[in-house]
Amino acid sequence: MGTKVMVNGLPGKMAIEVAGLIKSGRYFSDKYCGFDLAGYSLTSSDQTEGIAVGASRDVEPIRPDQREDGIRRLKEVYEGRTVLSVDYTTPEAVNGNADFYCRHGLPFVMGTTGGDRAALEARVRDSDVVAVVAPNMAKQIVALQAMFAYAAMTFPGAFEGYTLEVQESHQAGKKDTSGTAKAMVGYFNELGVPFVIEDIIKYRDPVVQERLIGVPKKHLGGHGWHGYVLNTGHGDVEFCFKHNVNGRRVYAEGTLDALRFLQKKVEAGEKGKVYSMIDVLKGE
Protein backbone atom coordinates (compact mmCIF):
# COMPACT_ATOMS: atom_id res chain seq x y z
CA MET A 1 0.00 0.00 0.00
CA GLY A 2 1.31 3.44 -0.93
CA THR A 3 1.94 6.49 1.16
CA LYS A 4 -1.13 8.68 1.50
CA VAL A 5 -0.72 12.38 0.70
CA MET A 6 -3.21 14.89 2.10
CA VAL A 7 -3.15 17.95 -0.15
CA ASN A 8 -4.46 20.91 1.83
CA GLY A 9 -5.91 24.01 0.25
CA LEU A 10 -8.19 22.28 -2.25
CA PRO A 11 -9.79 23.36 -4.50
CA GLY A 12 -7.14 26.08 -4.86
CA LYS A 13 -5.34 25.99 -8.19
CA MET A 14 -1.90 25.02 -6.89
CA ALA A 15 -3.40 22.35 -4.63
CA ILE A 16 -5.43 20.98 -7.55
CA GLU A 17 -2.29 20.84 -9.71
CA VAL A 18 -0.42 18.79 -7.10
CA ALA A 19 -3.38 16.55 -6.26
CA GLY A 20 -4.01 15.86 -9.94
CA LEU A 21 -0.39 14.88 -10.50
CA ILE A 22 -0.50 12.50 -7.53
CA LYS A 23 -3.80 10.99 -8.62
CA SER A 24 -2.65 10.47 -12.20
CA GLY A 25 0.42 8.50 -11.07
CA ARG A 26 2.17 9.58 -14.28
CA TYR A 27 4.92 11.90 -13.13
CA PHE A 28 7.86 11.11 -15.45
CA SER A 29 8.34 7.50 -14.29
CA ASP A 30 7.25 5.07 -11.62
CA LYS A 31 9.36 6.68 -8.91
CA TYR A 32 6.26 8.35 -7.43
CA CYS A 33 3.85 5.44 -7.93
CA GLY A 34 3.99 4.85 -4.16
CA PHE A 35 1.93 8.01 -3.53
CA ASP A 36 -1.86 7.87 -3.18
CA LEU A 37 -4.08 10.92 -2.85
CA ALA A 38 -5.80 11.02 0.54
CA GLY A 39 -9.55 11.53 0.55
CA TYR A 40 -9.38 14.52 2.90
CA SER A 41 -8.20 18.12 2.63
CA LEU A 42 -7.99 21.02 5.07
CA THR A 43 -10.11 23.72 3.46
CA SER A 44 -11.69 27.09 4.13
CA SER A 45 -14.92 27.43 6.08
CA ASP A 46 -17.02 27.96 2.95
CA GLN A 47 -16.12 24.61 1.35
CA THR A 48 -19.21 22.48 1.99
CA GLU A 49 -19.21 19.98 -0.87
CA GLY A 50 -16.87 17.17 -1.81
CA ILE A 51 -13.92 18.33 -3.91
CA ALA A 52 -13.32 17.00 -7.40
CA VAL A 53 -9.80 16.05 -8.40
CA GLY A 54 -10.45 14.75 -11.86
CA ALA A 55 -13.88 13.37 -12.67
CA SER A 56 -15.33 12.63 -9.23
CA ARG A 57 -15.88 14.58 -6.00
CA ASP A 58 -13.92 12.12 -3.90
CA VAL A 59 -12.06 14.42 -1.48
CA GLU A 60 -13.85 15.32 1.74
CA PRO A 61 -13.31 18.90 2.95
CA ILE A 62 -12.22 19.40 6.55
CA ARG A 63 -13.29 22.90 7.51
CA PRO A 64 -11.59 24.80 10.36
CA ASP A 65 -14.32 23.95 12.87
CA GLN A 66 -14.08 20.25 11.96
CA ARG A 67 -10.36 19.73 12.12
CA GLU A 68 -10.06 17.64 15.28
CA ASP A 69 -12.83 15.26 14.21
CA GLY A 70 -11.55 15.23 10.65
CA ILE A 71 -8.00 14.29 11.56
CA ARG A 72 -9.30 11.57 13.87
CA ARG A 73 -11.30 10.08 10.97
CA LEU A 74 -8.30 10.30 8.65
CA LYS A 75 -6.09 8.44 11.10
CA GLU A 76 -8.72 5.75 11.59
CA VAL A 77 -9.22 5.27 7.86
CA TYR A 78 -5.49 5.15 7.10
CA GLU A 79 -4.35 3.37 10.24
CA GLY A 80 -0.97 1.73 9.72
CA ARG A 81 -0.14 3.83 6.64
CA THR A 82 2.20 6.80 6.35
CA VAL A 83 0.33 10.07 5.79
CA LEU A 84 2.22 13.09 4.47
CA SER A 85 0.72 16.55 4.08
CA VAL A 86 1.19 19.25 1.45
CA ASP A 87 0.15 22.80 2.26
CA TYR A 88 -1.03 25.15 -0.47
CA THR A 89 -3.43 27.28 1.51
CA THR A 90 -3.06 31.01 2.33
CA PRO A 91 -0.30 33.08 3.98
CA GLU A 92 -2.59 33.79 6.95
CA ALA A 93 -2.98 30.07 7.62
CA VAL A 94 0.69 29.07 7.44
CA ASN A 95 1.62 29.10 11.13
CA GLY A 96 -1.68 27.73 12.40
CA ASN A 97 -1.51 24.88 9.90
CA ALA A 98 2.11 24.11 10.78
CA ASP A 99 1.13 23.92 14.45
CA PHE A 100 -1.72 21.56 13.53
CA TYR A 101 0.61 19.26 11.58
CA CYS A 102 3.10 19.21 14.44
CA ARG A 103 0.48 18.49 17.10
CA HIS A 104 -0.95 15.60 15.10
CA GLY A 105 2.31 14.06 13.93
CA LEU A 106 1.86 14.86 10.23
CA PRO A 107 5.13 15.35 8.31
CA PHE A 108 4.56 18.08 5.74
CA VAL A 109 5.73 20.06 2.75
CA MET A 110 4.98 23.76 3.17
CA GLY A 111 4.52 25.23 -0.30
CA THR A 112 2.50 28.20 0.89
CA THR A 113 4.48 31.42 1.13
CA GLY A 114 4.14 34.03 3.86
CA GLY A 115 3.59 33.67 7.58
CA ASP A 116 6.26 33.87 10.24
CA ARG A 117 8.88 31.53 8.78
CA ALA A 118 11.20 31.67 11.80
CA ALA A 119 8.33 30.68 14.10
CA LEU A 120 7.30 27.95 11.67
CA GLU A 121 10.74 26.38 11.65
CA ALA A 122 11.07 26.69 15.43
CA ARG A 123 7.73 24.90 15.85
CA VAL A 124 8.88 22.00 13.68
CA ARG A 125 12.17 21.66 15.54
CA ASP A 126 10.23 21.47 18.79
CA SER A 127 8.04 18.65 17.46
CA ASP A 128 8.19 15.01 16.43
CA VAL A 129 7.73 15.68 12.72
CA VAL A 130 10.01 16.53 9.83
CA ALA A 131 9.16 19.09 7.15
CA VAL A 132 10.28 20.59 3.86
CA VAL A 133 9.72 24.36 3.91
CA ALA A 134 10.46 26.46 0.83
CA PRO A 135 9.22 29.67 -0.77
CA ASN A 136 9.65 28.14 -4.23
CA MET A 137 9.18 24.52 -5.24
CA ALA A 138 10.58 24.83 -8.78
CA LYS A 139 13.87 22.93 -8.64
CA GLN A 140 15.55 24.86 -11.42
CA ILE A 141 14.78 28.23 -9.84
CA VAL A 142 15.99 26.92 -6.50
CA ALA A 143 19.23 25.87 -8.20
CA LEU A 144 19.58 29.43 -9.54
CA GLN A 145 19.02 30.79 -6.03
CA ALA A 146 21.71 28.45 -4.74
CA MET A 147 24.15 29.93 -7.26
CA PHE A 148 23.41 33.42 -5.98
CA ALA A 149 23.71 32.24 -2.39
CA TYR A 150 27.16 30.84 -3.19
CA ALA A 151 28.19 34.09 -4.88
CA ALA A 152 26.92 36.15 -1.96
CA MET A 153 28.87 34.04 0.52
CA THR A 154 32.03 33.78 -1.58
CA PHE A 155 32.19 37.27 -3.08
CA PRO A 156 30.56 39.63 -0.55
CA GLY A 157 30.38 43.21 -1.76
CA ALA A 158 31.13 42.30 -5.38
CA PHE A 159 28.36 44.62 -6.64
CA GLU A 160 29.03 47.49 -4.26
CA GLY A 161 28.08 50.80 -5.89
CA TYR A 162 25.36 49.25 -8.04
CA THR A 163 21.63 49.98 -7.89
CA LEU A 164 18.96 47.30 -8.14
CA GLU A 165 15.47 47.07 -9.57
CA VAL A 166 13.33 44.01 -8.79
CA GLN A 167 10.03 43.20 -10.48
CA GLU A 168 7.78 40.23 -9.85
CA SER A 169 4.47 39.31 -11.46
CA HIS A 170 2.02 36.66 -10.30
CA GLN A 171 -1.67 35.90 -10.76
CA ALA A 172 -4.03 38.36 -9.08
CA GLY A 173 -4.96 35.83 -6.38
CA LYS A 174 -1.44 35.78 -4.91
CA LYS A 175 -1.69 38.19 -2.00
CA ASP A 176 1.85 38.38 -0.67
CA THR A 177 5.12 39.49 -2.24
CA SER A 178 7.03 36.65 -3.89
CA GLY A 179 9.15 34.71 -1.40
CA THR A 180 11.64 34.04 -4.18
CA ALA A 181 12.05 37.74 -4.87
CA LYS A 182 12.56 38.40 -1.16
CA ALA A 183 15.26 35.72 -0.97
CA MET A 184 17.04 37.13 -4.03
CA VAL A 185 17.04 40.61 -2.48
CA GLY A 186 18.87 39.11 0.50
CA TYR A 187 21.59 37.72 -1.77
CA PHE A 188 22.00 41.05 -3.56
CA ASN A 189 22.26 42.81 -0.20
CA GLU A 190 25.16 40.51 0.72
CA LEU A 191 26.73 41.27 -2.65
CA GLY A 192 26.85 44.92 -1.61
CA VAL A 193 23.64 46.31 -3.12
CA PRO A 194 21.43 48.33 -0.76
CA PHE A 195 17.79 47.45 -1.44
CA VAL A 196 14.74 46.89 0.74
CA ILE A 197 11.95 44.39 0.16
CA GLU A 198 9.37 47.18 0.21
CA ASP A 199 10.85 48.50 -3.06
CA ILE A 200 10.05 45.33 -5.01
CA ILE A 201 7.71 46.23 -7.87
CA LYS A 202 4.76 43.85 -7.65
CA TYR A 203 2.36 43.28 -10.55
CA ARG A 204 -1.09 41.76 -9.96
CA ASP A 205 -3.24 43.62 -12.51
CA PRO A 206 -3.87 41.33 -15.54
CA VAL A 207 -4.17 44.27 -17.94
CA VAL A 208 -0.79 45.64 -16.89
CA GLN A 209 0.77 42.18 -16.89
CA GLU A 210 -0.31 41.46 -20.44
CA ARG A 211 0.25 44.88 -22.01
CA LEU A 212 3.26 46.19 -20.10
CA ILE A 213 5.41 43.16 -19.38
CA GLY A 214 4.10 40.64 -21.91
CA VAL A 215 2.64 37.79 -19.87
CA PRO A 216 0.70 35.55 -22.30
CA LYS A 217 -3.04 36.00 -21.89
CA LYS A 218 -3.67 32.30 -21.28
CA HIS A 219 -1.25 32.35 -18.33
CA LEU A 220 -2.49 35.47 -16.56
CA GLY A 221 -4.28 33.21 -14.06
CA GLY A 222 -1.13 31.27 -13.22
CA HIS A 223 2.44 32.49 -13.71
CA GLY A 224 5.57 33.68 -11.92
CA TRP A 225 7.75 36.22 -13.72
CA HIS A 226 10.78 37.72 -11.99
CA GLY A 227 13.34 40.26 -13.16
CA TYR A 228 16.44 41.71 -11.50
CA VAL A 229 18.41 44.58 -13.07
CA LEU A 230 21.69 45.88 -11.67
CA ASN A 231 23.18 49.19 -12.85
CA THR A 232 26.25 51.21 -11.99
CA GLY A 233 25.63 54.71 -10.68
CA HIS A 234 26.84 56.27 -13.93
CA GLY A 235 24.96 53.81 -16.13
CA ASP A 236 27.80 52.27 -18.15
CA VAL A 237 27.30 48.66 -16.93
CA GLU A 238 24.08 46.69 -16.59
CA PHE A 239 23.38 43.13 -15.48
CA CYS A 240 19.96 41.55 -16.08
CA PHE A 241 18.64 38.30 -14.66
CA LYS A 242 15.17 36.88 -15.12
CA HIS A 243 13.19 33.67 -14.73
CA ASN A 244 9.68 33.42 -16.15
CA VAL A 245 7.34 30.53 -15.40
CA ASN A 246 3.99 30.07 -17.13
CA GLY A 247 1.55 27.70 -15.49
CA ARG A 248 2.00 25.68 -12.30
CA ARG A 249 3.33 22.32 -13.47
CA VAL A 250 6.98 22.99 -12.59
CA TYR A 251 6.01 23.80 -8.98
CA ALA A 252 3.87 20.67 -8.73
CA GLU A 253 6.70 18.49 -10.01
CA GLY A 254 9.07 20.02 -7.46
CA THR A 255 6.50 19.40 -4.74
CA LEU A 256 6.45 15.70 -5.58
CA ASP A 257 10.24 15.63 -5.40
CA ALA A 258 9.98 17.26 -1.97
CA LEU A 259 7.42 14.63 -0.92
CA ARG A 260 9.70 11.81 -2.01
CA PHE A 261 12.57 13.37 -0.06
CA LEU A 262 10.29 13.78 2.98
CA GLN A 263 9.16 10.18 2.70
CA LYS A 264 12.76 9.00 2.93
CA LYS A 265 13.37 11.13 6.03
CA VAL A 266 10.25 9.72 7.70
CA GLU A 267 11.32 6.16 6.86
CA ALA A 268 14.72 6.94 8.41
CA GLY A 269 12.96 7.93 11.65
CA GLU A 270 13.95 11.59 11.59
CA LYS A 271 12.06 14.05 13.82
CA GLY A 272 12.21 17.75 14.58
CA LYS A 273 14.07 18.74 11.41
CA VAL A 274 13.39 21.35 8.76
CA TYR A 275 14.69 20.94 5.22
CA SER A 276 14.72 23.24 2.21
CA MET A 277 14.44 22.62 -1.52
CA ILE A 278 18.21 22.96 -1.72
CA ASP A 279 18.41 19.92 0.56
CA VAL A 280 15.98 18.17 -1.80
CA LEU A 281 18.21 19.03 -4.77
CA LYS A 282 21.25 17.68 -2.96
CA GLY A 283 19.34 14.57 -1.89
CA GLU A 284 20.82 14.86 1.61
Q: What is the pLDDT of residues 7-22, one digit of tens each?
A: 999 999 999 999 999 9
170 is catalytic: yes
Phi-psi region of 195 (alpha: psi -120 to 50; beta: other; left: phi over 0): beta
Query: How many residues can be counted in the chain?
Result: 284
CB distance 156 to 188 below 8 Å:
no
Please report the DSSP string for 235-249 in residue order: SS-EEEEEEEEESSH
pLDDT at residue number 213: 95
The pLDDT confidence band at residue 32, using thresholds 50, 70 and 90, is low
Catalytic choice (174, 219, 223, 265) = 174
d(CA 106, CA 97): 11
Q: Mean pLDDT check: name the lowest of 29-43, 117-131, 150-164, 166-180.
A: 29-43
pLDDT of 96 > 60? The answer is: yes
d(CA 204, CA 167): 11
Q: Which domains does the chain have, with CATH numbers?
A: 3-133+249-282 (3.40.50.720), 139-246 (3.30.360.10)
pLDDT of 25 > 90? The answer is: no
| Mean of pLDDT values over 150-173 | 96
Q: Mean pLDDT check: name the lowest of 79-88, 175-184, 263-272.
A: 175-184
pLDDT at residue number 1: 58
Whole-model pTM: value is: 0.85
pLDDT of 79 > 80? The answer is: yes
d(CA 202, CA 266): 38
pLDDT at residue number 242: 95
pLDDT at residue number 114: 87
The pLDDT confidence band at residue 48, using thresholds 50, 70 and 90, is confident
Q: How far is CA 219 from CA 136, 213, 223, in A?
A: 18, 13, 6
pLDDT of 54 > 90? The answer is: no
pLDDT at residue number 236: 94
Catalytic choice (170, 219, 226, 265) = 170
pLDDT at residue number 24: 82
How crowded is residue 104: how many other Cβ atoms within 10 Å of its Cβ?
Answer: 17
pLDDT at residue number 27: 55
pLDDT at residue number 82: 93
Q: Which residues pair with 231 in a beta bridge?
A: 163, 238
pLDDT at residue number 284: 64
pLDDT at residue number 111: 95
What are the pLDDT digits (tens) for 203-258?
A: 999 999 999 999 999 999 999 999 999 999 888 999 999 999 999 999 999 999 99
| Mean of pLDDT values over 130-154 | 94
Helices first, then strands: H and E counts in the chain:
9, 13
Alpha helix (H) residue ranges in the chain: 13-24, 67-77, 94-103, 117-125, 139-154, 179-190, 206-211, 249-267, 277-282
The pLDDT confidence band at residue 116, using thresholds 50, 70 and 90, is very high
